[in-house]
Amino acid sequence: MQLERILHAQGFGSRKLCRSLIRHGEVSVNGQPCDFPFEEFDTEQLEFTVRGVTWQYRTQAYLMLNKPAHYECSHKPQHHPSIFSLLPAPLLERGVQCIGRLDEDTTGLLLLSDDGQFIHRMSSPKWKVPKVYAVTTKHPLDDAQLQALLQGVQLLDEPGPIAALAAEQQDSHLLHLTLAEGKYHQVKRMLAAVSNRVEALQRIRIGALDLPADLAPGEWRWLDADMLAAASPQRSA
Ligand code: URA
């Protein structure tokens, strides 16, 4: 693929802008400067550097973000900055979207991609991708609450009770709750339905993909093939 097209596909702006970047000597490929926009490269395993930042060519973008509190999962945030402001411009330019949303005050694992089919599959109710939340509660947890969460609680405007896949108490005020759905404010509504209240909420796992301990709030990371497979849905029976 021509270098100009490569940069364009990777989110570095219009073909004209990419051509100008290359002609101005801002681009290297596999460590070698290249100022000819029409030079052809094999995109497999290709590494290129634009203005000192090195990128790997990726046909599609799959990434994870450790969402900090007080960021909104929206391109048009109302009261807080957008999580998209935490990502570099080329990722935004190539149309990366978040897969599901976390509330403004929820922290933790958020997946993003520009692969429409992947986003659709991850979000479809046909595929049940379990998500685990670390829930800090206002009141001490008790067995009756855990049993109710596991047996199903009736939420307003839902046709029937919704049950957690797992509810594992960690200490008096900390619960790991696994859900198959991603309904609006679901964890907060489920805890309210058992007469408790969420004080803090963090998503710690999607499918078999854990929030890495070394990914600080506000940091993002590419998903490698193993991470992507771990996060991907298994068709439910
Ligand atoms: N459930 C909630 O209540 N909030 C979230 O952000 C995610 C799940």
Residue 234 has pLDDT above 80, yes or no: no
From the CA of 131, give the closest atom in ligand 1: 8
Query: Tens digit of pLDDT for each residue in 61-80?
Result: 999 999 999 999 999 999 99
Catalytic residue from among 35, 42, 103, 143: 103
Q: Please give the average per-residue pLDDT across 132-157, as a whole number.
A: 97
Write out the residue limits of the CATH 3.30.70.1560 domain(s) in the chain: 131-206
**What's the confidence (pLDDT) of residue 123?**
86
Q: Supply φ then ψ for residue 135, to 5 degrees.
A: -110, 120
Q: pTM of the predicted model, to two decimals?
A: 0.93
From the CA of 203, give the closest atom in ligand 1: 7
Query: Tens digit of pLDDT for each residue in 107-128?
Result: 999 999 999 999 998 888 788 8
Cα of 223 from ligand 1 centre, angstroms: 23
Q: Whose CA is nearest to atom 3 of ligand 1?
A: 185
Greatest CA separation found in the chain?
69
Q: Which CATH superfamily is domain 131-206 in?
A: Alpha-L RNA-binding motif (3.30.70.1560)
Q: What confidence category does residue 102 fall into, taking pLDDT thresholds of 50, 70 and 90? A: very high
- Cβ–ligand 1 contact at 66 (below 6 Å): no
**What's the confidence (pLDDT) of residue 237?**
39
Write out the residue limits of the CATH 3.10.290.10 domain(s) in the chain: 3-56
Cα of 51 from ligand 1 centre, angstroms: 39
Write out the residue limits of the CATH 3.30.70.580 domain(s) in the chain: 62-126+209-231
What's the mean pLDDT when you consider all of the chain? 95
At the topology level of CATH, where does 3-56 sit? 3.10.290
Cα of 201 from ligand 1 centre, angstroms: 7
Query: Tens digit of pLDDT for each residue in 176-223?
Result: 999 999 899 999 999 999 999 999 999 999 999 999 999 999 999 999
- Cβ–ligand 1 contact at 185 (below 6 Å): yes
From the CA of 106, give the closest atom in ligand 1: 6
Our answer to whether residue 115 is catalytic in this structure is no
CATH number for the domain running over 62-126+209-231: 3.30.70.580
According to DSSP, the β-strands at 166-171 and 174-179 are antiparallel
Please give the Cα distance from 128 to 97 (Å, whole number).
Answer: 20
Q: What confidence category does residue 236 fall into, taking pLDDT thresholds of 50, 70 and 90? A: very low
